[in-house]
Structure 1
């Protein structure tokens, strides 16, 4: 998964890079490097599970949560969107939302009830590249649906709405939908 020393460019991560940090007891930096690999290529479930365990042992809660999130994505796929929250003056929410996958809002993704009414579906929310998102703020996010099968029709460019109650809390444009490629290794 790491680039070999022979074919590495100056921007590539190699086994030697990771070992260098580990040999100097810079465990958190080594973990960060390994986490970044997931942005370059899809990595197996076992890789993320092992990183999550390492992060837990180092008491790095956010890193452990991120690696667990990536475990979910290897199993159920990736959904990324560009989310804009409604301003505090126009919405129920007056405080920032946590970025680390804590919030589980409802989403109108176009599903209908048997009676033909809009159905709301639940998905956890991970805000990318920031610890929180302020009311009125905008950021790319990742979604982890409670029932991934109900989200299979999602397409890039589709507009979906976030709800914390009956009112709209935010609007998102789907950026990316990646289905799981194979059954992840245990």
Structure 2
């Protein structure tokens, strides 16, 4: 297994430009040092955080997802698969505020790792003027879950991405898990899918 993990992380590392760096100025060279010392989980974490003047191609996240799976890191694997999907459909980030437990259907926290697939009122209407709801999975950023009454930055992965293209920063959308609204979100960021240059 160790050879497979190293090969997979090395393959992902080769997709990162040398100029890409974390907020702490960690670069792909540092990742290679961790790989040389068999610090695979650290290398994986750093590769997930590398950012800067580059956009990760789809293959990058698939490689990291495979490595996380081989290492038995379920949440990291799910995060990498999520990011891989975002390269194909685009990124939608929002600030989600859940209604308190006594007000809405939800009594337990929203799981953070993209499990919940609620419906959203994003402005589409049917012929009679009522809302036509759309489905999008929810990933809670920087937390394992979001409790009722809580507020957090989230990422949304729509079932039908083309229906969400009209949204932009500042737009408000409403979340439904049943007939009654369970929360509202303000769009923070919308990025198109990654397009590969020929």
TM-score by length of 1: 0.91
Question: 82, 102, 115: which one pairs with 1:69?
Answer: 82
Question: 89, 112, 122: which one pairs with 1:109?
Answer: 122
Following the alignment from structure 1 to structure 2, what is the Cα–Cα distance between the partners of residues 49 and 145?
A: 19
Q: Tell me which moved more, 18-27 or 47-56.
A: 18-27
Shift of 1:155: 1.3
Residue 18 of structure 2 corresponds to: 3
Distance change (3 Å), C-alpha of 1:170 and 1:40: farther
Residue 178 of structure 1 corresponds to: 191
Question: 121, 129, 137: which one pairs with 2:142?
Answer: 129
Following the alignment from structure 2 to structure 1, what is the Cα–Cα distance between the partners of residues 54 and 143?
A: 22
Distance change (3 Å), C-alpha of 1:73 and 1:94: same
Residue-pair matches, total? 183
For structure 2, the 5+ residue unaligned runs are 1-15
Following the alignment from structure 2 to structure 1, what is the Cα–Cα distance between the partners of residues 36 and 70?
A: 18
**2:106 aligned with 1:79:** no
Residues 3 and 12 in structure 1, CA contact (< 8 A), matched pair in contact too: no
Following the alignment from structure 1 to structure 2, what is the Cα–Cα distance between the partners of residues 81 and 9?
A: 23
Q: Tell me which moved more, 34-43 or 59-68.
A: 34-43
Distance change (3 Å), C-alpha of 1:164 and 1:46: same
Residues 55 and 64 in structure 1, CA contact (< 8 A), matched pair in contact too: yes
Residue 36 of structure 2 corresponds to: 23
For structure 1, the 5+ residue unaligned runs are none
Q: Which secondary structure does the structure 1 equivalent of 2:190 belong to?
A: strand
Residue 12 of structure 1 corresponds to: 25
Shift of 1:113: 1.7
Distance change (3 Å), C-alpha of 1:61 and 1:10: closer
TM-score by length of 2: 0.85
Residues 26-175 of structure 1: pairs in structure 2 closer than 5 A: 26-38=39-51, 41-175=54-188
